[in-house]
Structure 1
Amino acid sequence: MRLTDELGAWAARQRWYAGKSHRPRFRILDAQPASGGATRYLLMDDAGALPTLYNVPLARISAPADGDDVVARDGDDYLVDATRDTGFTVGTLAEMGVDVTRVTGSRVLTGEQSNTSIVYDVDGEPTIILKLFRTLHHGENPDVTVQRVLSDSGSPFVPRFFGSLDAEWPDIGRDSGAARGTLGFAQEFLRGVRDGWAVALEAARENRDFTDAARDLGIAVAGVHGALGAALDTTEAAAEQVEATGAAWRRRLSIAANEVPAVADRVEAIGALYDAALARPWPHLQRIHGDLHLGQVLAVPAGGWRIVDFEGEPLRPMAERAIPDLPPRDVAGMLRSFDYAGAVGDGPDPMGWASACRDAFVESYAAAPGAIDLDPVLLRALVLDKAVYESIYEARNRPDWLPVPLAGIDAALA
């Protein structure tokens, strides 16, 4: 009982713990051998709306050293966060099939939220990054599926994929009595990269032309869509799928109208555009990024863009995250992100800056190899749906930012 209490108290303080809105109720579902003599504790929190399973590898040491993150005491020994233990980190990389003979060290990146990232030096240079998933689900993580497929296809728009690691755990809800899912994966570490949001924000603040970068980004997104469509299943948008999408749009619109008076004033016009989009021919559905914005792309020095984080919403079941979707949804997400960068950057002409970026992005996407046809009415509806969702979020969390999505709604309706 004491170990569960200490382990739970430590987990609840971590940035990757997703249950901060409720009082947790932890239990150790399983304890499994892990690399380097560590133990992988699978910690269940079943106090929230959905039970959540956490991946907590711990290393056992006799005395903590500088840098050790002590989680609990177990007799005379200490249990510490294994992601800072070289035996565990290098051993895990080896389990993924990666040659570790030239690995000279590893370190945990700070600032992570839903996952933990470990960077490995090869011959003294940072070369590999391992993403350790902290919330576990049955099924292969989309980040692994998508990045492996794109890497195998030779796509220049994602980091090179090196390997992944799975595990099984008890699950009485399944006929087999067990679930199996992804613990983490390793990929190329890109040196000197900058987060796309930071790069765009700086350009917007200085009112510096960003259209060349937006064009390159449009080519990258189109290339990813083309490669995914060629390598993974695509499907026609059946009537019931179109109807389900329309129902989701209207559900979000109803919530926004109840919480944001300015949206309520525009319900009729928004609904009319939704109706028009639902009546148009739709492109084939396929795997997409699903949460694309400027924070999900990396600017490589003299190397263009890399798209990352294909994981989707970490708390959604894997089966839902793998459902084929509309490629223009990714385009809409990026268009909204340009608007946010312009507004937050607060340069001398934020709307003009964002508009130029949007035009350049769409133009280059449409002309690029692998691009999906962008029906303008459907794209406007997807932009509207994104802005409607943003209005709900901003009204609840950042009221000062509410004008940003409202301006986006008006622009899409214009």
Structure 2
Amino acid sequence: MSKAASTRTTPRLAAASPAVSPADARALVSSLTPLLHDWLPRQRWFAGKGRQITGFVPVTVTELLPMNAGGPWLLHLLVRVEQRGASGPPPSIPSSSTPAPAAASAGDCYQLLLGIRETLPPYLASALIGHVAEGPLAGLTAYEGLHDPRLAELLLERLGSAGAQGPLRFDRAGPVPVGLTGRLLGAEQSNSSLVYGDAFILKILRRVFPGPHPDLELPLALAAEGCERVPAPVAWFEAGDPSGSGESLTLGVLQPYLRGSQDGWQLALAALADGRDFTLEARALGRATAEVHTALADALPTVTLGRSQTAQLASQMADRLDLAAQAVPSLRPYVSGLRTAFAALAGLDEAGRGRPAQRVHGDLHLGQALRTPDGRWSLIDFEGEPARPLAERRRPQPPVRDVAGMLRSFDYAARSHEPWRPDWAERCRAAYCEGYAAASGVDPRAEPELLRAYETDKAVYEVLYEARHRPDWLPVPMAAIRRLAGEV
């Protein structure tokens, strides 16, 4: 690595390889630790809010762009964030400086792409992480590299050529044009996305886990089946699991950007504001959902849930209800009525009939559906509910789970409008199910016990989420809770 434009020598790291050595990685992360302590909890995609950060441990550090005279330096980091009160089992990702058995005490692993400069130009002021005070980066400025057009363009160029760069592996399914300007979207919460020239969108996964990631796995499978309802991945990059498990950590996926499209949530709110019916759109969206489900069932293994598996599903739903009621007192009066939905689900397969389960979207709602200017619906964001373990998100499930999520979304849209339009929501819900049935041959309403159980489980999740993050929205799922509990 060369000297910077100043008289001070910049850190010399891994001269023969973009992969930074464990000793240099420790020194770099130690140098950044005071800044990350302050910056990371403020990011929308950071899942550990409210828990004390006790340390940062490097997993891998890679120089995607070494520092040259006067230019930026792009560092790719996988960093384990250790916290007090961590909930749930940790991902099996050891640090680059500890042996594999230490993975049992690991915290969440996050992907960071940091720009490093001597001084930050004014147009990058909003990307500032901080000025490094000590260590190998002392005197330099760290910032969110995805805001930097030069670094964003470099990332696209790297995706265009398959191969390895240190511990990172780049792959592609088609040509990737160069020279496209990237802009960072600001709307996402659990990840970050760059749009390149209105032609491609690159999703950067922030909290990473070993194992096939649904946001790459499912679109690839659908593309192989010829399903055009989901944008097919053009390129992606991964890292090997340092624990030696043989699994990969999916880090980013590049897909076509559906120029001029609008998401279903925006369209539904606009229809409500204009007093327009939305049933034609809802029916078409039901057909699109069914087509995706059919293609997933053809592309990936399916299973049959027997009596014990169905009873276990019901038990897990009941457990989630109990935990939510402990956290949200306003839910407690309805627990008894809501439990009847899960009891009915547990009794569905007493005759030993069983029911099919397959890979599904896992977090389907109006915001995950895009309608292009020609009126065609597509589904996006197949990662499932980010708060749930990756293994759980990859399990086959009854397709009605996705249906229930979309039905709840119609209710949310109607409730967000003043005055509340329950009739609008009911017409949309019916039209969506009709469209689904026309395309699949299976009407989700044919098994009301199954649909009610999944809709109840979703509403309970919404109550817990709104109570924690958006208390003003709590009346929206609570209205559904009263209905599902048989109160109205």
Q: TM-score, normalised by structure 1?
A: 0.88
Cα distance, 1:371 vs structure 2: 5.0
Residue 189 (structure 1) aligns with: 257
1:114 aligns with 2:150: no
The 3 A distance-change label for structure 1 pair 406 and 15 is closer
- Matched to 2:207, the amino acid is T
The match for 2:79 among 14, 35, 43 is 43
* Maintained 8 Å contact 1:96/1:185: no
* Maintained 8 Å contact 2:268/2:278: yes
Return the alpha-carbon distance in structure 1 between the equivalents of residues 324 and 58 of structure 2. Answer: 39
The match for 2:431 among 360, 366, 374 is 360
Matching of residues 218-367 of structure 1 within 5 Å? 218-255=286-323, 264-281=332-349, 282-347=354-419, 350-367=421-438
The 3 A distance-change label for structure 1 pair 314 and 254 is closer
* Maintained 8 Å contact 2:153/2:182: no
- Matched to 2:283, the amino acid is R
1:96 aligns with 2:171: yes
CA RMSD of aligned residues (A): 2.6
Q: Which runs of 5+ in 1 are unaligned?
A: none
Post-superposition Cα deviations, 1:343-365, rounded to whole Å, max 9, x if no partner, equal 11124x60110010011111111
- Matched to 1:88, the amino acid is L
- Matched to 1:42, the amino acid is L
1:404 aligns with 2:448: no
Post-superposition Cα deviations, 1:185-242, rounded to whole Å, max 9, x if no partner, equal 1001011122211211222233310000100110011111111111011101033321
The match for 1:30 among 53, 59, 64 is 59
The 3 A distance-change label for structure 1 pair 7 and 409 is closer
Does the residue aligned with 1:236 lie in a helix, a strand or coil?
A: strand
Return the alpha-carbon distance in structure 1 between the equivalents of residues 231 and 441 of structure 2. Answer: 19
Post-superposition Cα deviations, 1:145-200, rounded to whole Å, max 9, x if no partner, equal 011111222222212321211113534xxxx3786310111001011122211211
Q: Which runs of 5+ in 2 are unaligned?
A: 1-29, 67-73, 91-106, 161-169
Does the residue aligned with 1:209 lie in a helix, a strand or coil?
A: coil
Return the alpha-carbon distance in structure 2 between the equivalents of residues 105 and 150 of structure 1. Answer: 29
Return the alpha-carbon distance in structure 2 between the equivalents of residues 308 and 222 of structure 1. Answer: 14
The 3 A distance-change label for structure 1 pair 336 and 265 is same
The 3 A distance-change label for structure 1 pair 262 and 29 is closer
- Matched to 1:22, the amino acid is R
The match for 1:54 among 101, 105, 110 is 110
Range 227-236 or range 71-80, more displaced: 71-80
Range 257-266 or range 137-146, more displaced: 257-266
Return the alpha-carbon distance in structure 2 between the equivalents of residues 351 and 343 of structure 1. Answer: 8
* Maintained 8 Å contact 1:287/1:325: yes
The 3 A distance-change label for structure 1 pair 243 and 8 is same
Does the residue aligned with 2:437 lie in a helix, a strand or coil?
A: helix
* Maintained 8 Å contact 1:138/1:181: yes
Return the alpha-carbon distance in structure 1 between the equivalents of residues 45 and 63 of structure 2. Answer: 20
The 3 A distance-change label for structure 1 pair 241 and 36 is same
* Maintained 8 Å contact 2:314/2:345: no
Q: TM-score, normalised by structure 2?
A: 0.76
